[in-house]
Amino acid sequence: MRTVELLLDEAADLAVREAWRRLADAGLPSEARHRSPTNSPHLTLAACPELTAPIRWELAEVAAVLPLPVQFTGVIRFERPTSVLAWALHVDSALAGLHRRVWEALASDSPPEALNPFHEPGQWRPHVTLGRTRRAGAFADRRVPELLPAPPQTAQLVTLRSYDTQTGALEVLGPRP
Domain ranges of the chain: 2-174
Average pLDDT of the chain, as a whole number: 93
10 Å CB burial of residue 93 (0-12, 13-18, 19+) is exposed
pLDDT of residue 177: 61
Instruction: Inform me whether the pLDDT recorded for 142 exceeds 90.
Output: no
Instruction: Cite the DSSP H helix spans in the chain.
Output: 10-25, 53-63, 93-108, 144-147
Instruction: Inform me whether the pLDDT recorded for 116 exceeds 80.
Output: yes
Tally helices (H) and strands (E) across the chain. 4, 7
Instruction: Inform me whether the pLDDT recorded for 59 exceeds 80.
Output: yes
Q: Which of 92, 95, 13, 2 is nearest to 50 (CA)?
A: 2
Please state which CATH class domain 2-174 belongs to. Answer: alpha beta
77-115 pLDDT, tens digit per residue, is 988 778 999 999 999 999 999 999 999 999 999 999 999
User: Cα separation of 145 and 85, whole Å?
Assistant: 9
- Percent helix / strand / coil, the chain, rounded to 5: 30, 30, 35
Whole-prediction pTM: 0.93
What value does the mean pLDDT take over residues 112-131? Answer: 96
Main-chain phi, psi angles of 44, to 5 degrees:
-80, 130
Main-chain phi, psi angles of 47, to 5 degrees:
-150, 150
Instruction: Inform me whether the pLDDT recorded for 124 exceeds 80.
Output: yes
Instruction: Inform me whether the pLDDT recorded for 131 exceeds 90.
Output: yes
